[in-house]
Structure 1
Amino acid sequence: MRRYARTLVAVALATTVVAGTAGWASGSAQQALTGPPPGTAAWRADHVLGRELPDPEQAAPAEVSRFFRGLTAAQQQTLVVRHPRVVGNLDGVPVALRYRANARSLRAGHDPRYTHLTGSGHRQILAFDPRGRGQVAEVFGDLSTARHVAVVVPGSDIDAGTFDRTNDVYGTPAGMAKSLYAETGRGSAVVAWAGYTTPVGIGIDAATGSLAEAGADRLTRFTDGLAADGVPAAAVFCHSYGSVVCGLAASRLHATDLVALGSPGMRADDVEDLHTTARVWAAKDATDWIDDVPNVEVAGLGHGPDPTGPEFGARRVPTHDAHGHTGYFAPGTDSLRAFASITEGEAR
């Protein structure tokens, strides 16, 4: 009987999405941004160093890392100046060079949509791609010395314009990362990673996995790039639709822990189905509206079982103090304290 009821819910979900009723039509379809960084064509044609540059589309992050570490400081700076958007977005490039290249891109862009990202000039922007709605990654702390690292993967409605909006702060990647860094402090670094095309609104993109599949590839390459630069494997915190991304990337990620919070599902039946050696955690507070989303997957719609369900097998994160869908990283909450403990490798 329970199986029959779940089937009815799944059919209702599919019908709702296809018909565009009950609010699902409020989302607009998005085209995933894939492929190499902007400026790749000019990069490929440039022989300023007297040799081929690594192909941004074909070269693995480890290969990119070896290439850059074989250059002199002057040669590295030449590439930063000539190709800031490639250097700033190419996984495997040393972190310090990416900061320098993205600062240069932001100063030269003169796009009012992104002036907030320049800040006081001290922001550590690890990725900045202005194409489409814009993608950004920012680091809090020092990745070169950090013993513990976390990466925050956001859900729907996040892009370069909403990356660090001042309303609903703890629903933004910058706000979540900054709060976690403040709770962990020195010895850690936290990356706010908005490096994929997210769904907009509650539309068919949010109910399907196509954007998450593209995002999973980008997240995997990103963590490969951190590993190539000697950064410790990260605890990856996956909020809302971001947990779908993490679920699809799980088997390939350089991660010590995967934490799904406010998750609609990870496109996996259980922890074993994720095929990861990382510890898997899940958090959902009683007031989170995500609890009203059917945890089913049928005909490509929906994202599967609730990661906080006992059958899924994830370790539970306490959420007694958290409130709503974006309250998990709020200061003073038991969930934030648990996240810090997970990041520092102290949680059991």
Structure 2
Amino acid sequence: MRRFGRTLVTAALAVTVVGGTAGWASGESQSAVTGPPPGTAAWRADTAYGPLPDPATATPYEVARFFAGLDDAARSALVRTHPLVVGNLDGAPVPLRYEANRLAVVATGEARYASLAAPDRRILAFDPRGRGQVAEVFGDLEHAAHVSVIVPGSDNDATSHDARRAPHTGPAGMARALRTATETPLADGPVAGGSVAGGPVAAGPVAAGPVAVIAWTGYTTPVGVGLDAADGRLAAAGALRLARFTAGLDAVGAPDPVLFCHSYGSVVCGLAARHTDAADIVALGSPGMRADTADDLRTGARVWAGRGPSDWIADVPNVSFAGIGHGADPTSAAFGARRVPAADVRGHAGYFTPGTQSLAAFAAIAKGEVR
């Protein structure tokens, strides 16, 4: 009975602590944005080019085959007529999605999204529903030898996606920092002091080809601290979207991605792990991945974890009771993940700060320089 009582207290504490980068505000319950994008009804009714792939049921591979059978004029017509659908259709050609999303952003007429339509931005997905969702590419996705996806935690949406006032902390800032770090050669030897159970992480030969990094603010994240941050409801919805997104990358010929999963984003990655073809999954500042061990994730990906010494997430109880809490600490030896060095990381949002051991290790993982 005493143990049961302690579990209840710990679970209650988890509700008050688990949250995102915004800190210690009370949480507001969020409704997960799911299902096909706006404009799907008009897309389904359009028969100008034969039956169009249904966004709700067609696989990304079926979508890719459909577009491969169209000429340039037909593709352009679909982009102009159905920008929100084409821009969010996993498996559609990457350049078409960029063009479609630029049109979709402009069509909203909303000032909060205006910067996303700048000519130099590569928006791979844009959904204005709810607080807004966006996926942005840094680098050349079509020709990249390596692809990384940033999966952020709480308090992120299409408006806060690119928080210029706090560089290297928002999803876009993290992606920029990682992309820049991959262009900096690493010294020979252990990767920034990294270690794995059983020995050091050795740097191998530099892998040829560029790296593309995607900031994927593609799910409804919790806001502040509350039940949404402590349970798995939004993470489960996000995991479905992440799995489909990564399948869409595969359908257009992109290499198996590395997932960098921050805070509540690591809960999303934990639930999506078995449904993706990720090469590596990196959990940082994680409250848990809803798994007891790395093996329980049932993924062929290498699993990594890191946490800085001043990260408040360490105070989150690693429990799971009646759906509350996210389970084991991924940085614990018992979990079995490879360790990412993070001794010089400040706070909960400093993992992508230039010059840190963690960012150097992330760059090595992103470039395939570790074995």
Q: TM tier, shorter chain? A: over 0.9
In structure 2, what residue type is equivalent to 1:273? D
Structure with higher RCO (Cα < 8 A, 6+ apart): 2
Cross-structure match for 1:108? 107
1:10 and 2:7 correspond? yes
User: Which residue of structure 2 lines up, in the alignment, with residue 177 of structure 1?
Assistant: 175
**What is the root-mean-square deviation in Å for CA atoms of aligned residues?**
1.8
Aligned to 1:189: 212
The structural deviation recorded for 1:98 is: 0.2
Alignment of 1:94-173 (within 5 A): 94-119=93-118, 121-173=119-171
Please give the secondary structure, in 2, of the residue aligned with 1:171. coil
1:202 maps to what in 2? 225
Select 1:322's aligned residue among 335, 339, 345. 345
**Residue aligning to 2:28:** 28
Aligned AA (1:26): S
Provide the rounded CA distance (Å) in 1 between the counterparts of 2:114 and 2:214: 20
1-side partners of 2:230 and 2:7: how far apart? 12
CA change 1:287–1:229 in 2 (3 A) is same
Which residue among 297, 305, 325 is the counterpart of 1:302? 325
The answer to whether the Cα contact below 8 Å between 1:24 and 1:203 also exists between their aligned partners in 2 is no
- Residue 92 of structure 1: how far off its partner (Å): 0.7
Give the Å deviation of 1:239. Answer: 0.2
Q: Structure 1 residues 263, 238: CA separation in 2 closer, same or farther (over 3 Å shift)?
A: same
In 1, distance between residues paired with 2:291 and 2:284? 15
Partner of 1:47: 47
Please say if residues 63 and 90 of structure 2, whose CA atoms lie closer than 8 Å, have aligned partners that are also in contact: yes
Shift of residue 200, structure 1, vs aligned partner: 0.3
- Structure 2 gap ranges (5+): 18-22, 184-208
1:91 is matched with: 90
SS at match of 2:335: coil
Q: Alpha-carbon deviations, 1:259-296, whole Å to 9, x = none?
A: 00000000001011000000000010110000000000
- 241, 263, 267: which one aligns with 2:286: 263
Change over 3 Å in CA distance of 1:162–1:248 after alignment to 2 = same
Q: Which amino acid aligns with 2:103?
A: R
- Paired residue for 2:274, among 240, 251, 255? 251
What is the distance in 1 between the residues matched to 2:243 and 2:161? 20
Letter in 1 for 2:143: T
Q: Which residue of structure 2 lines up, in the alignment, with residue 38 of structure 1?
A: 38
Other-structure match for 1:67: 66
The answer for the alignment partner of 2:312 in structure 1 is: 289
- Classify the secondary structure of the residue corresponding to 2:249: helix
Over the matched positions of the two proteins, sequence identity in percent amounts to 60
Count residues with an aligned counterpart.
Answer: 341
Within 2, Cα distance between the matches of 1:17 and 1:282?
20
Give the whole-Å Cα distance in 2 for the aligned partners of 1:116 and 1:126: 15
SS of match in other structure, 1:219: helix
**Quick check: 2:15–2:226 contact (8 Å CA) kept in 1?**
no
- What is the CA–CA distance in structure 1 between the aligned matches of 2:72 and 2:156, rounded to whole Å? 35
Counterpart CA distance in 1 for 2:100 and 2:283 is 32
**What secondary structure is seen at the aligned counterpart in 2 of 1:237?**
strand
Q: Secondary structure at the match of 1:175?
A: helix
Once the two structures are TM-superposed, the CA of residue 108 in structure 1 deviates from its matched residue by: 2.2
For 2:357, the equivalent position in structure 1 comes to 334
Residues 8-45 of structure 1, C-alpha deviation per residue, up to 9 Å, x if partnerless? 5531143457899xx98800000001101111000001
What is the Cα deviation at residue 118 of structure 1? 2.3
Aligned equivalents of 1:230, 1:330: Cα separation in 2: 31
Which amino acid is 1:318 matched to?
P
Find the aligned partners of 1:232 and 1:139 in 2 and give their Cα distance.
14
| 8 A contact 2:53–2:66 mirrored in 1 | yes
